């Protein structure tokens, strides 16, 4: 079964990071999204895991499906920017997971 690698979607990553910022900012200002701390925490953990899953999937595609493309990423400016955006997305996703987990167990 031949699978096609996913295309790079910078708009989706930026949109999800914006959603993560809105989520974190809303919780900081209002202290709740839905009135239930458990739901707010679970939503944050799910959002953070989803945000982190996209760069992880891109890394797996890069390693297994796009043979030889790894060298191109380090030599081209667009490739380095794509790697930096994925790293930023993982960092933002991780922070949302931490905020959600804090809400969930706090």
Strand, coil or helix: 30: helix
For the chain, the domains span: 66-106
List Cα–Cα distances, 71 to 10, 66, 100, in angstroms.
Answer: 20, 11, 36
Q: Largest Cα–Cα distance of the chain, in whole Å? A: 50
* Residues 62, 49: Cα–Cα separation, whole Å: 20
Tell me, what's the pLDDT at 101? 93
User: Does position 59 have pLDDT exceeding 90, yes or no?
Assistant: no
pTM: 0.81
Please determine, for residue 43, whether its predicted confidence score (pLDDT) is greater than 80. yes
- What is the structure's pLDDT at 100? 92
CB neighbour list of residue 94: distance below 8 Å, 6 or more residues apart:
48, 52
Query: Where are the alpha helices (H) located in the chain, listed in sequence order?
Result: 10-30, 37-64, 69-75, 77-105
CB atoms within 10 A of CB 32: 12
Of 40, 48, 23, which is closest to residue 106 (Cα–Cα)?
40
The predicted model gives 44-58 an average pLDDT of: 93
pLDDT in tens, 60-89: 877 777 666 666 666 777 778 888 999 999
Q: Which of 11-25, 26-40, 70-84 tops mean pLDDT?
A: 11-25
């Amino acid at each position: 079964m031949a699978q096609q690698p996913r295309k790079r979607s910078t708009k989706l990553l930026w949109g999800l990071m914006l959603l993560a910022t809105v989520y974190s900012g809303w919780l900081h200002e209002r202290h709740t999204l839905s009135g239930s701390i458990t739901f707010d925490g679970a939503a944050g953990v799910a959002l953070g895991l989803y945000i982190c899953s996209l760069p992880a999937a891109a890394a797996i595609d890069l390693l297994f499906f796009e043979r030889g493309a790894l060298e191109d990423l380090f030599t081209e400016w667009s490739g380095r920017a794509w790697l930096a955006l994925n790293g930023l997305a993982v960092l933002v996703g991780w922070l949302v997971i931490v905020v959600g987990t804090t809400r969930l167990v706090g």
